């Protein structure tokens, strides 16, 4: 009896294998999570790369739309016709003007410009680069009412503190270009503003009514600055040099008390190029839609499911820059200027034998 009891196997609880099983399971979970993480990162990077490629295609599609509309507008301008407004993606304009546009660039790959909007009379005119070559800005109110104010906003293209070295007064600021402070990011903005309404314009009236003003940027705390001046033309133009305190982000200047519905403005920035925005309001303070200067083209490009939208201000002629030399004389009459200079004096053909005795040999 005792022998049979002794021969039974003795069962004893043992957990020595559980540690290995748990360790293996934890490692498998960790490795699975790592693999899933790498797979997710790989898929995200792949998608980002694809999105960048599609975004570039969509941007180029939007640019293609801009170029198509610009060519269409230029053809219409050359024929002397007006540019109709395009207010919706499916709008084809007056007389199906925009119906000839072909938005599909690559049908197989789903690349096209999906929406095109055109505003030929915007409330804001933008010029990205105004420098020593003047920009000509025609300003005609679309609804025919009179201008009340014209506002000029321009931004510096110099990083850092663009007003630190600007003048603190308007005296003796017209120095040589090389002497302009490197820490003043703004140039001296010159504008010539002349009324252009009516059919009785002539050289004398244009000269008598032109307002020429130099707006000098000034640093903070300077005395004698103005943010606005009244329109004054010809001999009454007493504000031909004004100071304006600019901020680190830009300058803003207003011309007030205007009373016509059409003006022409020529703008130059001396010493430094600037980015300029021109806007205007009527007597009621409402923004004026200005025609004849620029058209705003709003184009949306699409590549599969990626969209890119760009907006461009384009001139309604070949260029906004003055096509004549800013330092030349233009006249409808003959111009004759003859003089002779020699040692001891200056002789004028109209005053024969008269010799200059002043310090300047070219002055009598």
Tokens of 45: 């990077």
Digitized pLDDT (tens) for each residue of the chain, 364 residues in all:
455 555 555 555 555 667 777 888 888 888 888 888 888 887 887 778 888 888 999 999 999 999 999 999 888 888 877 889 999 999 988 888 899 899 999 999 899 999 999 999 999 999 999 998 999 999 999 999 999 999 999 998 888 778 888 888 887 667 888 888 888 889 899 999 999 887 767 777 777 788 989 999 988 878 778 888 888 766 556 668 889 998 888 899 999 999 999 999 999 999 999 999 999 999 999 999 999 899 999 999 999 989 999 999 998 887 888 877 787 776 777 777 666 555 555 544 444 445 544 444 444 4
Total Cβ atoms within 10 A of residue 154? 25
CA distance 333 to 31: 91
CA distance 185 to 361: 39
β-pair partners for 106: 111
The CATH code that applies to domain 121-174+181-291 is 2.60.120
CA distance 220 to 186: 13
User: Is this prediction's pTM over 0.95?
Assistant: no
pLDDT at 26: 85
Residue 252's nearest CA partner among 149, 170, 182 is 149
Spatial contact of 75 and 266, defined as CB atoms under 8 Å apart: no
Residue 98's nearest CA partner among 298, 288, 314, 290 is 298
Residue 123's nearest CA partner among 84, 155, 151 is 151
pLDDT at 267: 95
pLDDT at 360: 45
pLDDT at 339: 60
Kindly write down the DSSP assignment for every residue of 129-144, as one continuous string. Answer: EE-SS-EEEEEEETT-
pLDDT at 350: 47
Any idea where the domains of the chain sit in the sequence?
121-174+181-291, 334-364
Beta strands in 142-207 (DSSP E): 149-156, 188-195
Strands 294-303 and 306-315, sheet pairing: antiparallel
32: enclosing H helix or E strand: helix 18-78
pLDDT at 165: 85
């Amino acid at each position: 009896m005792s022998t049979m009891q002794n021969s039974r196997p003795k069962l004893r609880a043992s957990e020595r294998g559980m540690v290995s099983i748990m360790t293996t399971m934890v490692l498998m979970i960790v490795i699975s999570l790592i693999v899933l993480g790498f797979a997710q990162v790989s898929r995200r990077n792949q998608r980002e790369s694809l999105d960048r490629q599609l975004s570039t295609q969509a941007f180029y599609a939007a640019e293609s739309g801009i170029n198509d509309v610009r060519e269409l507008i230029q053809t219409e301008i050359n024929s002397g016709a007006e540019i109709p407004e395009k207010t919706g993606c499916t709008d084809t304009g007056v007389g199906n003007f925009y119906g000839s546009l072909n938005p599909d660039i690559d049908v197989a790959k789903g690349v096209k410009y999906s929406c095109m909007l055109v505003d030929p009379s915007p409330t804001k005119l933008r010029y990205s680069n105004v420098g020593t070559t003047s920009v000509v800005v025609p300003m005609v109110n679309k609804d025919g009412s009179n201008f009340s104010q014209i506002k000029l906003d321009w931004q510096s293209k110099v990083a850092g503190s663009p007003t630190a070295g600007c003048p603190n007064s308007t005296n003796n600021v017209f120095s040589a270009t090389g002497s302009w402070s490197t820490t003043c990011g703004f140039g001296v903005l010159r504008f010539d503003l002349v009324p252009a309404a009516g059919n009785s314009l002539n050289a004398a009236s244009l000269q008598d009514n032109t307002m020429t003003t130099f707006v000098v940027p000034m640093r903070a705390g300077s005395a004698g600055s103005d943010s606005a001046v009244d329109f004054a033309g010809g001999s009454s133009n007493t504000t031909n040099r004004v100071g304006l305190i600019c901020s680190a982000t830009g300058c803003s200047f207003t011309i007030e008390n205007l009373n016509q519905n059409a003006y022409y403005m020529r703008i130059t920035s001396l010493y430094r190029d600037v980015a300029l925005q021109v806007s205007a309001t009527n007597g009621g303070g409402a923004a004026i839609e200005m025609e004849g200067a620029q058209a705003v083209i709003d184009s949306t490009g699409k590549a599969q499911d990626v969209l890119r939208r760009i907006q461009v201000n384009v001139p309604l002629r070949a260029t906004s820059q003055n096509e004549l030399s800013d330092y030349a004389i233009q006249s409808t009459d003959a111009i004759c200027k003859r003089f002779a200079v020699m040692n001891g004096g200056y002789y004028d053909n109209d005053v024969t034998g008269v010799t200059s005795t002043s310090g300047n040999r070219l002055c009598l």
